[in-house]
Structure 1
Amino acid sequence: MAIKSFQGARRQQTNAEDSTPLKVSDYMTRDLITFTPKQTIESVMQSLIKNRISGGPVVNEKNELVGIISEGDCIKQISESRYYNMPMQDKTIEKFITQNVDTIDGNMNIFDAANEFLKTKHRRFPIVENGKLVGQISQKDVLKAAMKLKGQTWK
């Protein structure tokens, strides 16, 4: 008894990885707005507002990642400053940054990076190579990658 197949002829599949980049480094932002530990909270807040960003990496003079500062960190400082009635114009960010920063590899597949965003609830991941900050991938960058890849196989 012969088994009949109801599937039609299949098109030769092209390997999406050959034609479309899928690495984090292909979609990450390299031209970053960074901060230094000695910057004042007010200057950081002004930069966040002016540049319409929600946070950014904090680096030392050697461009080594030492932390992340976010809108939430600034809001916390505003709240504490008001509660204790202490002006904050001269306060630097070094005590308020998140220091143990999760990073991801620039060679990671963009979809694996998407899973990292889901697992950690982070809005951004810095990318460090040889101890130096080289870029950052955000959730929006992953969305942009998905829009470029739509209609292709999701491998």
Structure 2
Amino acid sequence: MGIKSFQGKRDTSQAKEASQILVSDYMTTNLITFKAEDSLDHVIEQLITHKISGGPVVNDKNELIGIISETDCIKHISESKYYNMPTDINNTVGKYMVTDVDTIDKDMNVFDAAFKFISSHRRRFPVVENGKLIGQLSQKDVLKAAIKVDGNTWL
């Protein structure tokens, strides 16, 4: 004789409905941004001062036009400072920034964004709405979301 369960029929309506965790819940909105006409020396100072690895480049309408990173600044250093050449006044963000920028939507699930980080090898994604920069999601933001989420509620 086997053991019988006395739980009875399970009510499926009691199942807890998990809500999605969106990029907008974890993105940073107070961003350090740069302009195309900013000097790279200014960018380097800002990266060091604010302990960040890069930032979005916007125009006067706050539209995203590029990204500048530590790597882009290192290219500048290797081209001029390494050879002890005078600083060119044309060493601006616009000359060194990456203009082909991948963005993500604020309504994207954070864990879908995590897969995008893995496949693209990027450290940050700008969040754009109607052409305007509204925030940025970093890998660290995804980690913050993962810590707060119970493992079986991921969507």
TM-score, length of structure 2 as denominator length: 0.87
1:5-16 equivalences under 5 Å are 12-16=14-18
What's the secondary structure of 1:16's corresponding residue? coil
Structure 2 match to 1:37 = 36
Distance 1:77 1:117 in 2: 26
Structure 2 match to 1:107 = 107
Write the letter of the residue equivalent to 1:94.
G
Aligned residue pairs total: 149
Paired residues of 1:42 and 1:88 also in contact (CA < 8 A): no
Structure 2 match to 1:140 = 140
Please report how far the alpha carbon of residue 62 of structure 1 lies from its aligned counterpart in structure 2 after TM superposition.
Answer: 0.6
Q: Structure 2: where are the runs of 5+ without partners?
A: none
Structure 2 match to 1:69 = 68
Distance 1:152 1:117 in 2: 22
1:84-99 equivalences under 5 Å are 84-88=83-87, 90=89, 91-99=91-99
1:66-112: CA deviation from partner (whole Å, max 9, x where unpaired): 10000000011100113554323732111100001000111101110
- How large is the RMSD of aligned CA atoms in angstroms? 2.3
Specify whether residues 151 and 38 from structure 1 end up closer, same or farther in structure 2 by C-alpha distance, changes over 3 A only.
Answer: same
Write the letter of the residue equivalent to 1:60.
N
Please report how far the alpha carbon of residue 15 of structure 1 lies from its aligned counterpart in structure 2 after TM superposition.
Answer: 1.7
TM-score, length of structure 1 as denominator length: 0.87
